[in-house]
Amino acid sequence: MSKIKPSKGAPYARIMGVGGYRPTRVVPNEVILETIDSSDEWIRSRSGIATRHWASDEETVAAMSIEASGKAIADAGITPEQIGAVVVSTVSHFKQTPAIATEIAHKIGAGKPAAFDISAGCAGFGYGLTLAKGMVVEGSAEYVLVIGVERLSDLTDLEDRATAFLFGDGAGAVIVGPAKEPMIGPTVWGSEGDKSETIKQTESWEAYRNGSLAKFPAITQEGQAVFRWAVFEMAKVAKEALDAAGLSPDDLDVFIPHQANERIIDSMVKTLKLPAHVTVARDVRTTGNTSAASIPLAMERLLATGEAKSGDTALVIGFGAGLVYAATVVTLP
């Protein structure tokens, strides 16, 4: 028989607060059209995107994260010192080490929490949320700060007609803490590595270091392949997450998918047969695709505008490079 004492965590976990930060510069499609042969109508019809935010030199990954985190901490009604872990999902922090989470933890005054980064692309928020739930229930942290943050403008090829208009910058954060009833459902997550070439960085940092590249590495994708995968396969994953939570589409109040493309969102809504009463996040129209930041940013906007309210039941799903995905049902803070 084991002599190890059982963990003393909470019976369940919940999202307690949410915060977001969007860079001050708003970039309309007209700016994108300066470097690609397209039109505003084509961009809107293909993606739904009218504007996106691009960060200034001062709006670093850390700076945006700190702003979003401060709002989430205040919304949760806790102090930074109570945070036991900081999890940051990003693909656009350009230092291999140390983890940007450690800098963020220090600058928000969190003391000495566990702090680490994860790389799961556009599913990164879902991965971080799942890890945070486990920490709270296991007892290794009472409160966990989960951040999704990107400066994708640094990884955008403005001459690539397929992707130049897609990406934006920003940070979204949530506080995960203890609950007395289930408020974060089981996560359905996974990967399909055989499709890893469909969304990728054009070249390695090694190739850039060796001076063999004419351009800085950027993100590229096979648009049609990604669209088909997201529409058909991710709708199945979303349904599995509902089933795992013991719910049906009729039980939902809100749907917050990764803000990749409005056509993908519309197709998923149709495939899932979501009722008319379900509020659907469409933050992509003015924020663009912010990868790991897109779900918490969309969540914050829905709550701020009153389109969603505290206590609503929401299905969230992220999917992207890898290809990776994560879906779960949550109660909104």
SS3 25: strand
Cα angle value 63/308/54 (rounded, 5°) = 30
Q: Burial, 329: exposed, middle or buried (Cβ in 10 Å; 0-12, 13-18, 19+)? A: buried
d(CA 220, CA 124): 18
CB 67 within 8 A of CB 171: yes
Signed CA dihedral, 36, 122, 327, 177: sign only: negative
The single-letter DSSP state of residue 162 is T
Nearest CA to 253 among 155, 305, 196, 329?
329
Give catalytic status of residue 258 as yes or no: yes
Burial 55-66 (b: 16+ CB within 10 A, else e): beeebbbbbbbb
CB 17 within 8 A of CB 177: no
The single-letter DSSP state of residue 55 is -
d(CA 235, CA 255): 12
Structure-token match 């992220």, residue found: 318
User: Which residue in the list 29, 53, 261, 289 is annotated as catalytic?
Assistant: 289
User: Which residue in the list 29, 53, 93, 122 is annotated as catalytic?
Assistant: 122
User: Which residue in the list 29, 53, 93, 258 is annotated as catalytic?
Assistant: 258
Give catalytic status of residue 29 as yes or no: no
| Token pair recorded at residue 65 | 């994260």
Find the radius of gyration of the CA atoms of the chain: 19
Annotated catalytic residues are: 122, 258, 289
